[in-house]
Chain A
């Protein structure tokens, strides 16, 4: 069992729980860009060499690490990590005909750069790994932490998900038709009936261990599948619920990864049909946008909704319940990678 003790999230919103939808930050050029903090805990000499994903990842992790007595391992999920620096370095190779190349972009260009930098800055020599399985990168990081805690029950881990909107990645995904062509406000994301999502970026970090005492949430179960078959997805969800929801209980809140893309909407509605009538449905991607590791801010929201009210504009379906015990987080990346995360209070 995995218990979450501390959380930190950098996203496109200063206030992720902003109650008034008119006050939320809107997408600029169809991008929900992260609002970065001042990063006071990152040494200036290191900060100036960091790309945005590294700044966000390290910047979100350091406050948690400094508040925690001992972190035994760092487990990250990132689909692209230092991709932007990687592309800069490759472009330099072409531009300068493989001649004199600067080391800055090279040392920041690898997939494991965020976990690596955190290990170096905090002198943490423990387990240090990065999962890079696109839309399941964060879920696999979380799963890894659960497996680590099964064998090392006294350990504490930092788990996180980070991705940025790099120019290279944005252009590729635009050509692939991943984003909305029309210029719409994220405030009205779910009213559109068109393909594509509004892209986002951010970092969410969690301090986790196997101790229930003083924790804020429990990750009771995770399940992932690769499929485009809606019937298979429904079977998987049924099995997941039968196996993990205690007798006499049901899912109180379905935290949906619905993203305004009419191509993936059927997967979300199919899941909703399997839930009880008194299950509330809540959406969050109009706040943070969509990206490969968006389940990380999704998990941050789940932790918050166990403790405080859900802003009205986030409800797709409201029920009489005002407190939630079992929250099911479902995300779907490009209609292919699906994840269910069951988050419960203690």
Chain B
């Protein structure tokens, strides 16, 4: 899968998993922070995203520090998925 295609897929999955009713994939910028400013996600959402990575891509993140870096924005998430996905 091309990186651009994967980014779109991840954005759609984030919207579905986090029930971001009024957000469209094009509203989520690739380099915009997912937490705090930007999309405004919180700590419960971070757990949801870690579960998303496990279920959809077979990625198991156990170190919270690593999780914080991976979930910084769409670019970091997709780069990590491309390197570590098992499905």
Listed in ascending order, the chain A residues whose CB lies under 8 Å from chain B are 44-45, 48-49, 96, 99-104, 107
Give chain A residues whose Cβ lies under 8 Å from the Cβ of B83: none
A107 in contact with B44 (CB, 8 Å):
yes
Given contacts A48-B18, A48-B20, contact A101 B51 (CB under 8 A): yes
Greatest chain B CB density within 10 A among A99, A103, A107 is at: A103
Q: Does B4 contact A (CB under 8 A)?
A: no
Chain A residues near B47 (CB, 8 Å)? 102-103
B55 touches A100 (CB 8 A): yes
Most buried by A among B40, B50, B54, B55: B55
Query: Distance in Å from the Cβ of A36 to the closest Cβ of chain B?
Result: 12
Q: Are A100 and B19 in contact (CB under 8 A)?
A: no
Chain A to chain B contacts (Cβ below 8 Å), 27 pairs: A44-B22, A45-B40, A45-B42, A48-B18, A48-B19, A48-B20, A48-B21, A49-B19, A49-B44, A96-B55, A99-B54, A100-B50, A100-B51, A100-B54, A100-B55, A101-B51, A102-B17, A102-B47, A102-B48, A102-B51, A103-B44, A103-B47, A103-B48, A104-B19, A104-B44, A104-B48, A107-B44
Q: State the majority secondary structure of interface residues on A.
A: loop
* Complex interface: chain B residues within 8 A of A104 (CB): 19, 44, 48
In the complex, which residues of chain B have a beta carbon less than 8 angstroms from the beta carbon of A102? 17, 47-48, 51
Chain B's closest residue to A92 (CB) is: B51
Q: Mark B74-85, 1 if CB is under 8 A from A, else 0.
A: 000000000000
Cβ–Cβ < 8 Å partners of A44 in chain B:
22
Q: Which residue from chain A places its CB closest to the CB of B41 in the assembled complex?
A: A45
Residue among A44, A49, A102 with most chain B CB within 10 A: A102
CB contacts (< 8 Å) of A99 on chain B: these are 54
Closest 9 CB pairs of A and B: A48-B19, A100-B51, A100-B54, A102-B51, A102-B48, A103-B47, A103-B44, A48-B21, A104-B48
Q: Which residues of A contact B17 (CB under 8 A)?
A: 102
* Min CB–CB distance B62 → chain A (angstroms): 11
- Please, how many angstroms separate the alpha-carbon atoms of A49 and B42 in the complex? 12
Chain B residues in 8 Å Cβ range of A100: 50-51, 54-55
Residues 21-55 of chain B, each 1 if its beta carbon lies under 8 Å from chain A, else 0: 11000000000000000001010100110110011
| Alpha-carbon separation in the docked complex, A49 to B54 (Å) | 21
Which residue of chain B lies nearest to A95 when distances are taken between CB atoms in the complex? B55
Residues from chain A with Cβ under 8 Å of B21 in the complex: 48
- Bound CA span A117–B74, Å: 31
Cα of A45 to Cα of B51 in the assembled complex, Å: 19
A-chain residues with CB within 8 Å of residue B42 when the two chains form the complex: 45
A92 nearest CB across to chain B (Å) = 9
Q: How far is the CB of B81 from chain A (nearest CB, A)?
A: 16
Q: Give the shortest distance, in Å, between A211 (CB) and chain B (any CB).
A: 40
Q: How far is the CA of A104 from the CA of B42 in the complex (A)?
A: 12
User: Whole-angstrom distance between the alpha carbons of A24 and B17 in the complex?
Assistant: 36
Q: Once the chains are docked, how many angstroms separate the CA of A107 from the CA of B45?
A: 13
Q: How far, in angstroms, from A322 to B77 measured CA to CA in the complex?
A: 67
**Which residues of A lie under 8 Å from residue B48 when comparing CB positions?**
102-104
- Apart from the given pairs A102-B47, A103-B47, 11 other A-B contacts in the complex at a CB distance below 8 Å: A48-B19, A49-B19, A99-B54, A101-B51, A102-B51, A103-B44, A103-B48, A104-B19, A104-B44, A104-B48, A107-B44
CB distance from B5 to the nearest CB of A (A): 25
